[in-house]
Structure 1
């Protein structure tokens, strides 16, 4: 096989947009890309390239428009891959790419910002529109997929990417303490929505059970934070808080669930401050993925474009719009869309063999095709308008609603605390005391023995970490609720509880003078009144 030709690139600009003049940009024995124009730009470390021209495969030429977006996650430490959707709590909902971007940015509350993204997995056309493969979002298997026979692409917090056919260890009850640390006593779920056969079985009941839970002795009733079902009776995701325990009949709360089984009643395992998750747990190399999205065929393996595929010939041989995820050994992850079904406009589309050649052109060591056709969509953040531009031409003429999407985003996602042993025998740190504000606006408190850092919670949402018991809070004018907790070595000490809520007000200098003047006026008035008496 001939080695790929080295392409010559002439840079006409340095800042903003780079225009590239190709000279036979890419050529293999049977494949060639002839670009009439290539435009590349970078947005916060994320590259976007658009190629307009034609491809030639086995002597057959076809006009095409190709869009690429990618970043080296090892070099650009601030860039990460995340997976999003249009799901709201207690539902599985499809959404178009712009809607999924909005929903995902909102979910992470400014911790990360999406820069680019494409549509995700194939999905079932119907009322639920669920993804075909597993959908993992922030360590949660929000949907396990209806098959495990295709390819799953998983992304870990350390930048590692895993891909292949996933394995699952089965449904488990996972218990997280009030600080989000997993208690190392996961409980296997025996079945859903049926009576237990013995006291060792753990049964989870959801709203589809349609009646009260009457068997099984003691029952734990949970208020649901998020409960999802595809209606099959066998695929669920649930997250909730313990509401109460009863030995009588238990009604299943709206958007809640009930657990039955002796093992869940071990003292201290599930308390009212814990969060309980029920999900189908990924195993093997996928065990600790933070995000994952499904695909189908490998189109590149070990750097070589593929010519045989799992999908039916009627699918992989047909020219159509395509989307793909590429992975490089140097840490680069990239997404590609190829427009199609619009040949008069210069967009014929490609089959999977041609898609593999395109992904190899961009340097993929591995590449997997994801949902294509009218689903193929790419969005790029526009720094001037602060909106998201659709940079390709979806063949439906509008944005299709899909099950999920995959993005390149900038920012930091908070890592959960490491798991803790159960029962938890670690000593608990003391609560910070003697909290006050200096005239300069510094928050000051007494240090706590064995504390390594402190977390300041503002209005129950914003968290600020400090290693010292003094912190300047750069807050807008207004009133705030402040709480503080101490953290030590996680393996040796359990973090303290939060301090009682402290309400503070931040005023402008003018407002402070007004308040001081009102105080002085009140004092003088009281003094004059006293003298008059």
Structure 2
């Protein structure tokens, strides 16, 4: 009896220490194991765990090789307990600027002291480097949502509201400029293409320098959150330099430019009203492609689009209660029988559904697909998956994970964003 007590006491002590250090999630974390094949998948023949590591209370990183009847798949997964106050999600834009030469995920993670993360939105890879869809960071809208495409399921957004709730769905921007009794629609924030098509654009210091030849530019000084004073009205600028912090500008092409010239002059005061619907309180937002899972259901093939091509893919899913998030990266385009084949969008949706996702969003894939993590004891993040380019690709932005306390080391309390 005495021997039994001597054995049990150290075990109980270890359990108590685990709870104190890691929190409850260290004991309740469920390793992903497939009792049945995910929807839309070939038969899974075997599973091999290659990594299973707690990064912090509420943050688990794992990697698996899944052998199927159609070849192998390698997945890296971040499993987040969002009910744990230790866990925070943040969005980081490459080089803190919309027009950018892009930046690697590991660089964004290291400079903001994240413990893990994945690549984010699709972007203009051969031109400006700007993300395609919405971007909000720390309550500031860096770029308004993309207009809906012909595929109504495309161009969805992942958002985090003021209560740290995760939202996946479609967002819409509405803006209006009021000057006296005259008003005009404001089409977008920091979406340069709108000026090119004759629309009205609000530019901020987050955008970067741009060619404004042929456009009308009204430089603005904020009076308060919604009111501005016009400090300059330009019709013959070639290039608009990057705006300084706090400075904004209205840029109009075609009819929009004519309206600016007819209604504004230096010293004019105007009011701008803006709203994002249905979620106007997003503190963080990052755009993506199609919604892979909507209310627990996989959309039709026509809504998923490009359903037959197998590629490296990145996606995020959240559970119905909103207390758990899955950040998944599948490798692909590898050669050999034991190398990762890559997934179709249908297969990625099936995988996320099978591990508990109720909503899910596709991010940029191919050579952009990447996951990083700062393993316990490390000073910087490591690339967890195998990018198909053979190296890290510079991307537009990333979805990163922050923790007040990291396993086996102290970590920064919050991330910093310029």
TM over 0.5: yes
Separation of aligned partners in 1, 2:55 and 2:357 = 21
Are 1:80 and 2:88 matched, yes or no?
yes
Q: Does 1:36 align with 2:27?
A: no
Of 102, 110, 121, 1:102 maps to 110
Q: How many corresponding residue pairs? A: 337
Q: How many angstroms does 1:41 deviate by?
A: 1.5
1:406 counterpart = 2:399: yes
Pick one of 67, 90, 97 that aligns with 2:76: 67
Map of 1:337-352 to 2, 5 A cutoff?
Answer: 337-344=329-336, 345-352=338-345
- Displacement after TM superposition at 1:343 (Å): 3.5
Report if the CA contact (8 A) 1:83-1:406 is conserved. yes
| Alpha-carbon distance in 2 for matches of 1:332, 1:264 | 52
Inter-partner Cα distance in structure 2 for 1:22 and 1:255 = 47
* Correspondence 1:46 to 2:84: no
Show structure 2 runs of 5+ residues with no match: 1-13, 150-154, 193-203, 251-259, 405-412
Q: Quick check: 131-140 or 20-29, which moved more?
A: 20-29
The answer on whether the counterparts of 1:322 and 1:355 sit within 8 Å (CA) in structure 2 is yes
> Offset of 1:199 from its aligned partner?
7.0
- The answer to whether the aligner puts 1:322 opposite 2:313 as a matched pair is yes
Q: Distance in 2 between matches of 1:247 and 1:299?
A: 46
Aligned equivalent of 2:158: 153
Please give the alpha-carbon distance, in whole angstroms, between the structure 2 residues aligned to 1:304 and 1:130.
31
Aligned to 1:481: none
The reply on whether 1:294 has 2:287 as its aligned counterpart is yes
Deviation at 1:162, TM superposition (A): 2.2
Question: How far did 1:63 drift?
Answer: 0.2
**Helix, strand or coil: the match of 1:286?**
coil
The Cα of 1:78 is off from its aligned counterpart by 2.3
Paired residue secondary structure (2:349): helix
Query: Cα deviations across residues 425-481 of structure 1 (Å, max 9, x unaligned)?
Result: xxxxxxxxxxxxxxxxxxxxxxxxxxxxxxxxxxxxxxxxxxxxxxxxxxxxxxxxx
Matched, 1:189 2:177: yes
Aligned to 2:131: 131
- Equivalent-residue separation in structure 2 for 1:247 and 1:340 (angstroms): 52
2: CA distance between counterparts of 1:144 and 1:247? 24
Partners in 2 of 1:258 and 1:299 — Cα distance? 37
Aligned to 1:117: 117
Residue 294 of structure 1, CA deviation: 1.3
How many Å separate the matches in 2 of 1:413 and 1:301? 31
Q: 1:387 aligns with which of 364, 376, 380?
A: 380
CA gap 1:284/1:226 in 2 versus in 1, 3 angstroms: closer
3-state SS of paired residue (1:168): strand
Partners of 2:335 and 2:182 in 1: how far apart?
Answer: 62
Report 1:503-522 matches (<5 A): none
Distance of 1:247 and 1:408 partners within structure 2:
42
Q: Tell me if the contact between 1:226 and 1:239 (Cα under 8 Å) persists in the aligned partners.
A: no
SS of residue in 2 equivalent to 1:326: strand
CA displacement at 1:124 relative to structure 2: 1.6
Give me the whole-angstrom Cα distance separating, in 2, the residues matched to 1:385 and 1:295.
Answer: 30
Which one scores higher on RCO, CA 8 angstroms, separation ≥ 6? 2
The Cα of 1:239 is off from its aligned counterpart by 9.0
Q: Secondary structure at the match of 1:127?
A: coil
Separation in 2, partners of 1:161, 1:79: 13
The 2-side partners of 1:42 and 1:380 are apart by 10
Distance change >3 Å, CA 254–CA 321, structure 1 → 2 = closer
Q: Indicate whether 1:374 and 2:367 are aligned.
A: yes
Q: Distance in 2 between matches of 1:294 and 1:42?
A: 28
Matches within 5 A, 1:206-355: 226-228=206-208, 254-256=241-243, 281-310=274-303, 312=305, 315-330=306-321, 331-344=323-336, 345-355=338-348
For 2:256, the equivalent position in structure 1 comes to none
Name the structure 1 match of 2:255.
none
Residue 49 of structure 1 and its aligned partner are, at CA, apart by: 1.4
Residues 1:203 and 1:28: Cα distance change in structure 2 (over 3 Å): closer
Distance in 1, matches of 2:355 and 2:78, equals 10
Distance 1:21 1:80 in 2: 21
Query: What aligned pairs does 1:154-169 form with structure 2 within 5 A after superposition?
Result: 154-169=159-174
Contact 1:322/1:337, CA 8 A, preserved across alignment: yes
Report the CA distance between 1:93 and its aligned residue.
Answer: 4.0
Structure 1: distance between partners of 2:346 and 2:90: 28
Measure the CA separation in 1 of the matches of 2:40 and 2:75: 19
List aligned pairs for 1:419-430, cutoff 5 A.
Answer: none
Gaps of 5+ in 1: 1-12, 106-112, 171-187, 191-195, 209-223, 271-277, 415-533
